[in-house]
Chains A and B, each alone.
Chain A
Amino acid sequence: MSTAPAPALGRPITEPGQPRPKRANARRRGLRTLGWALLFLLPSAIPLTAFTLVPMISSAWVSLHDWNLISPMEWVGLENYRELLADPRTRDVFANTATYILGYLPLVYIGGLGLALALNRAMAGIAFLRGAYFLPVVTSWVVVALVWQWLLSPSNGLVNTVLGAIGLPEPGWWTDPAWAMPSIILASVWKDLGFVMVILLAGLQALPQEVLEAARVDGAGAWRRFWHITLPLLSPSTFFVVVISLINGFQVFDQVNVMTGGGPAGASQVVVGQIYDLTFRYGRAGDASALSWLLFALVLVITAIQIRGQRRWVTYA
C-alpha cells in the first residue's frame, strides 16, 4: 500500500482535456481506495475467515468421512448424507425445528409489534420501560433457560402453582413430550420480544409523519391508519425481523439444551441439538458435519425465497 503522493512540485501541469494522465490518476486513486477498504475490512475479515469460512470448508471435508474426533478420519464419500436422509431421526429433528419456528415466529412478531406500538410515545419512564423489555435480550440464555425451567417446573413451579390456584389444568411442561416444545417456545418468545420491539420501534419512528397526517385529515380511523398505512410502511422492518428470526429459529439450541436436553425421548430435539449430540456425545463428527450442511442448504434456499418474495410485499417509502 503506497502512501499519499507528494504534492506535485516539479510535475508537468496538465490541461483538463488531456486524457492519459487523468486516467492514470483515477486508476491510482481507485487502487488507493481499494487498499484502504481492504485495510479497514481486515479486523472483521480475519475473524470471519478464521472462525466461519475455514470451519465451514473443513466441515464439508469432514462430512465426507467417518471421524470420532480422536482417531484418524476414514473416507466414506457421500455415505453420511445417504444415511442421514434415510434416518427417521433426521426427519424428526427437522420437524421439531419447524414446529418451533411456526410457534415462535408469529408470537414473537405480534408480541414485539404490540410492545413497539405501546411504547412508541412520549411518557414518563418510557426509557426505563424500553430498557426493561430489552433486558432479556442481553441476558445469557443459560440463565434465562434455568429460570424458565424453574418457573415451569411441573411439581413446584410458579406457573403451575398459579394455574392450580385458579383451577386450571397443570401441564407437565418440559417433562411431557407434548408440552416440551411449547415450553421452549414460551421462553424464547419472552427472551426475544425486546429485540423485535427495538427493530419495529425504530421502524415506527422513521415513518413519514406527513403520510399518517394526510390519512388522518382524510378521516381514516386508527385501525385503518394502522392496517393500511403503518403496517405496509413498516414492511422493511418486518422483513428484517422475519429473515433474522427465521435464521435464528433454524439454529435454536441453547434453550433446548438447557431446558430439556432435547427430551423427553427426543420430543424437543432440534437440528443443532442433534448436531451437537452426534459430535460430542456419540463421536460421529462426519454425520454431524453432513447434517450441518443439510441445515445450511435449507436456510440458504428459504432465505433466497424470502429475498425474492420481498418484492411482492415490502414497501420502501
Chain B
Amino acid sequence: MTQHRRRAARLLAMSAVVALAATACSQGSASNDDPTEAEGSGDAQTTITYMNFSSNGGNEENLALVVDAFEADNPGITVDVETFPYDDYFTVLQTAVAGGTEADVFELNYENFVTYALNGSLAPLEGVDEAAYKPSLLEAFQVDGTQFGLPESFSNVVLFYNADLFEAAGVEPPTADWTWADERAAAEALTDTAAGTWGDYQPISFHEFYKVLAQNGGEFLSEDRTEATFASPEGIEAAEWLVEKSGTVMPTTADGAGTPDFDTNLFTSGQLAMWHTGIWMFGPLADVDFAWDIAVEPGNTENASAMFSNTAVVSARSANTEAAQAWAEYLTSSEAMVQMRLDTGWELPPVADESLLAPYLEQTPPANRQAVFDSLDAIVLPPAIESQTEMQDIVTEELTEAAAGRKTVEEALTSAQERVTALL
C-alpha cells in the first residue's frame, strides 16, 4: 500500500517535471507563430503594431489622434503603438529585427533608412498614391526606383528665444540677418549666472557640428567619401563656436547639460534666452507663461539649417502587409494626419499641396512661423555612412572632451577626423 502510494507520488513528481520541461521548450516555438492567429480565427479583427520614436517626449497624444481616426475609418484593424525615446530606439529596433520580432510598421530616420532597405528588412510599397506627397521627400525613401518608405513628416531646427528675457535686458531679438557674432553678443548680454539665467543652449554633438561646419563653409567628408575632412580651419572655427559656449553662456556637463530634458526644463522655466532646437517643440511649448518666438538659425559665412525627415516603413516579415501598408499610408497622407499636425504644430505634413499648410502659418505661438519655411531655403543633410552611430559617437565624444577643456579643439577634431576616416 505505502509502496503504491510512494510510486504514485514519484509518478506525479516526474510528470510535473516533464510538464515543466515541455512548457519551457514549447515557449520557444510559440513565439514564431502568427501573433494574430488566435484573434483572426474568431472574428475579422486584425491587430498591427507600430513602433516609433518621434512621438516620444510630448507628442504621444497627438499620435493617438491619428490612430483613433484610422481605427474609426478602418473597422477591423487595431493599431498597437510602441513608443521609445530616440536614444534607445535604434538599439531596440536592431535587436527586434535581428530576433524577427519587429513591429509591422516602424519609423526610421533618413540616416538609417538605406541600411534597412538594402538588407531586405523592408517590404516594397506598391500602389501608393504618389501624388499626395511632396516629390522630393517621396524620392528620398526610394531605392533603385522602388518605394520602401513613406515620408511621415519633416522638420527643421531653428533658433527659439524667450522674448521676455530679451525685452527685460533691452537686447534686440534675433532676426534672419543675424550671424554668429550677433548671437554671441546677445548671449553674453543675457547670461546672468548669479540669477541662474543662461544666454544660449546648443548641444555639443555631432548633429550640431555638421551643421555649424556647413554654416562656416566647411566639408565633413571629401568628395569621393574616402576620408573625413572636418578638422580644417573652417571646422576648427565651427567647433570653437560650439565649445566656447559651454561654461560661458551655456551650462556645462557638470551643471547637468546633456541629461534628458535638461534644456527643455531650462527653457520652459524661463531661465534660457536662446535655444537651438527643432520645431517639434512648438506643441510642448504652447502653454509656457512667457512670450517666445523663433528665427532662422544664424550662420557665419553662409546660412545652413538642419532638416530631418522620418519615414514609415512596413516590415518584410509582417503577416499583415495589407493592413500595415494601409496604416502607413494613413499615417503619412490622411486628412486626419494633416489636420493633427497643423493643429498641434508637431512637425510638418509631407503633403504635395502646399496650400494645405496655410493654416500652419496663421497659428501662434510662435508669431514668426514663416522662419520654418525660410530655413528650408538653405538646408544641410547629415553625412550618412554605414557606421553611422559609431561616427556620431566619435564626433560627440571628442567635442565633449574639448568642451571640458581636456583637449584643445584642434586636438579633438584631428583625433575625431582620424577615427572617422578609419570607419570609411
Taking Cβ atoms with an 8 Å cutoff, the residues of A that contact B are 1, 3-4, 7, 39-40, 42-43, 46-47, 50, 69-71, 153-155, 172, 175-177, 263-266, 280-283
Contacts and interface: CB of A to CB of B under 8 A. Distances in A.
B12 to A, nearest CB: 13
A265 B400 contact: yes
B21 to A, nearest CB: 5
Interface of B: 3, 7, 10-11, 14, 17, 20-21, 24-25, 28, 91, 94-95, 97-98, 115-116, 119, 121, 253-256, 387, 389-390, 393, 397-398, 400-401, 404, 406
Given A70-B94, A280-B95, A281-B91, A264 B253 contact: yes
A175 B247 CA distance: 14
B205 to A, nearest CB: 13
A264 B400 contact: yes
A10 to B, nearest CB: 17
Contacts of B398: 265
A70 B254 contact: no
B255 A70 contact: no
Nearest to A283: B94
Closest 6 CB pairs of A and B: A69-B98, A71-B119, A154-B254, A282-B390, A280-B91, A175-B254
Nearest to A173: B254
A264 B254 contact: no
B93 to A, nearest CB: 9
Given A69-B98, A70-B98, A71-B119, A4 B14 contact: no
Contacts of A282: 387, 389-390, 393
B30 to A, nearest CB: 14
A1 B406 CA distance: 69
Given A39-B17, A155-B255, A281-B389, A69 B97 contact: yes
A4 B21 contact: no
Given A4-B7, A39-B14, A282-B387, A69 B95 contact: yes
B21 A42 contact: yes
Contacts of B401: 264-265
B116 A70 contact: yes
Contact of A46 (B25, B91, B115, B256): B25
Given A70-B94, A70-B116, A172 B21 contact: no
A281 B24 contact: no
Contacts of B94: 69-70, 280, 283
Contacts of B255: 155
B8 to A, nearest CB: 11
B119 A264 contact: no
Nearest to A35: B14
Contacts of A69: 94-95, 97-98
A1 B17 CA distance: 14
B20 A43 contact: yes
